[in-house]
Structure 1
Amino acid sequence: MDLPLIWSVLIATAVMLYVLLDGFDLGVGILTVFADDEAERSLLTSTIEPVWDGNETWLVLGGGGLFAAFPLAYAILMPAFYLPVLVMLAALIFRGVAFEFRHKAARAATRNFWNGAFFGGSLAAAFSQGVILGAFVQGVEVEGRGFAGGGFDWLTPFSLMTGFSVVIGYVLLGACWLVLKTEGATREGARKWARRALIGVGVSMATVSLATLSIDPRVTERWGFTMAAIDFAKFWKLAPIPIAAAGLFYALWRDLDLKREAAPDWRPFILSAGLFLTGFLGLAFSLFPYNVPFARTVWETAARDNALGFMLAGAGVMIPVILIYTAYVYSLFWGKVRPAEGYGAGGAHG
């Protein structure tokens, strides 16, 4: 049994679930700045109120799994990304505080402050995650068993580009979530936001994909590209990923067309999640087997097999429990969110 490979799949799955689940509620947080008034802003936050805190469970699982299963990778990557990781964590904390306090603010000035903090925390967390992703993809300088680069090696044009790309992607997820959860003018406004964000996502995916191919020759070789020719034998093996992305993009664009009402409200969110999944798979196939690109593989950084096996037994129990509980919460609060009476004070019911 290849335990390092199993753990890499588990951690990658946890990260992907975090991106999809916390991604949409960070996107909703960013979109609150575009709300027409306080009542609509409270309606937007009510769509994520039952689930936003639980969505962050997958971040803990992904980070904790990296620390436990791949301690060498954790020891190399954390010093390389200290600053953006600290900014991300501070933003998530500040956002969580703002989420609770904005409902309790008695004065308009105080409420505006916490509304701004919720928007700012959501934006900063999303941008930081994108910067970390870009810095991870471009690789870090390693000597022996430690990080040998500088404290700002993560700050590059590529990482800034991925930071903005993740923000746009989260806005798309958040807008599609609002299409699913709201009605009337708010739903129509969310469709407009989603359609605009989808244009940005298409440009971002194309730009980041092309830039990723130029980062390391091993990536271009994996996809079958050289400066002079294309190796179609290699390219066609991975071609279903960009083809699927193009198909999902087209289907989502049609579903978000304001003149079309045939598409069910749940479908844009599923299609946008699928679009994210194709991007994630493209990166995974580009970087595997490295979990410290392009210096250390999953087998070189893994803990001992007895430790991995012991932790796998615990994960085999806990992960299904988390999945079942998450599914139960989402099913419990399924359906449209409508303003409650006296909505200006906050709160809504499904």
Structure 2
Amino acid sequence: MMDGLDLPLVWAGIILFGVMMYVVMDGFDLGIGILFPFFDEKEDRDVMMNTVAPVWDGNETWLVLGGAGLLAAFPLAYGVILSAFYLPLMLMLIGLVFRGVAFEFRMKARAGKRRMWDQAFIGGSVAATFFQGVTLGAFLDGVPVVEGEFAGGPLDWVSPFALFTGVALMVAYALLGATWLVMKTEGPLQQRMRQLGQWLTWALLAVIVAISIWTPLAHDAIAQRWFQWPQLLWFSPVPVLVGLCTWALLHSLRGEGHARPFLLTLALLFLGYSGLAISLWPHVVPPDITLWQAAGPDESLGFALVGAVVILPLVLAYTGFAYWVFRGKVRAGDGYH
């Protein structure tokens, strides 16, 4: 505590915000890569990529912010988490590199080489998404820590639950990508995205139900948080809101709405994210290390907070400006209008 301000709690909020922004903003362009195999026509793929071409690289700013914030505010958690998940995080980064390189090279490749870069874009998007989900699932499983150091093995992250969350995140990002393209495209491509979005909505609901059942059965500590007072008060509206958002999303995909399906998908992701926060609170490394145990000195947290207060508004401002400039529909051959 410093001058009445709980700095570890403030930094937890900043990091959670940064990670959520990454999921929202990089999620839909990773989702586009996951959707690529469903669309073979060059014109469709060109339009799909052009919807994110001006903004995709800036979206990953939030991933950097989350990692840097974890190092600055919770160095113990940073060391443990990177030691525990070194392999899946490296595979995720390799996927992001392949996706980024393919994004740039595909636009300049000759016709004979373009398909190769399409495959790299698909593979990079799938790998990055899958290993993000695997890391999340393994994190929920818990990390063995002895005297402040990771005490497990290099493959402890491999488990049925973690692998399932990897697939679940692919479904979530694919739906986010489909609804983004409903908002940004028109004509036959948009109609196909509406149809695909309905199937993906049902698939996402199925994985949400599966994870909601599997998580408390596999993790007693999380079950206690869900079903004890007052956590139950905070958690109980989440299933109801998920059902309402799913119904509204299916209705909007069958109708004529353009932005509403994307916004409702964001609401579903936010509800899942809030459920995750409730499940883990107040641990930054489950099952034993809390925010305050992992936090750095108050002096370091306060110093870093000054930089965050300056940087965050700037990042939000230029991100908002970029999306405003490139708003509107994307059409084949003629870009933005």
| Same fold (TM > 0.5) | yes
The yes-or-no answer on 1:321 pairing with 2:314 is yes
TM-score using structure 1 length? 0.93
Determine helix, strand or coil for the equivalent of 2:329.
coil
Offset at 1:240? 1.2
Structure 1 letter corresponding to 2:328: G
The yes-or-no answer on 1:117 pairing with 2:120 is yes
The yes-or-no answer on 1:282 pairing with 2:275 is yes
Offset at 1:215? 3.2
Closer/same/farther in 2, CA of residues 114 and 234 from structure 1, 3 Å limit: closer
What is the aligned partner in structure 2 of residue 194 from structure 1?
197
- Equivalent of 1:273, from 266, 269, 278? 266
Name segments (4+ residues, structure 1) moved above 6 Å: none
Offset at 1:234? 5.3
Alignment of structure 1 residues 1-350 onto 2, 5 Å: 1-108=5-112, 110-224=113-227, 235-257=232-254, 260-261=255-256, 264-340=257-333, 348-350=335-337
Determine helix, strand or coil for the equivalent of 2:107.
coil
Offset at 1:233? 6.8
Structure 2 letter corresponding to 1:40: D
Closer/same/farther in 2, CA of residues 101 and 253 from structure 1, 3 Å limit: same
Note if contact 1:340-1:349 (Cα within 8 Å) is conserved in structure 2. Answer: no
Alignment: residue pair count: 333
Identity of aligned residues (%): 46
TM-score using structure 2 length? 0.96
Structure 2 unpaired stretches of 5+? none
Structure 2 letter corresponding to 1:314: G
Structure 1 letter corresponding to 2:215: T
Offset at 1:40? 0.9
Deviation by residue 1:317-337 (Cα, 9 ceiling, x = unmatched): 100110011111001111000
Structure 1 unpaired stretches of 5+? 225-230, 342-347
- C-alpha separation in 2, matches of 1:245 and 1:46: 31
Note if contact 2:31-2:177 (Cα within 8 Å) is conserved in structure 1. Answer: yes
Structure 1 letter corresponding to 2:327: W
Note if contact 1:176-1:190 (Cα within 8 Å) is conserved in structure 2. Answer: yes
Note if contact 2:328-2:336 (Cα within 8 Å) is conserved in structure 1. Answer: no
Structure 1 letter corresponding to 2:283: Y
Note if contact 2:327-2:336 (Cα within 8 Å) is conserved in structure 1. Answer: no
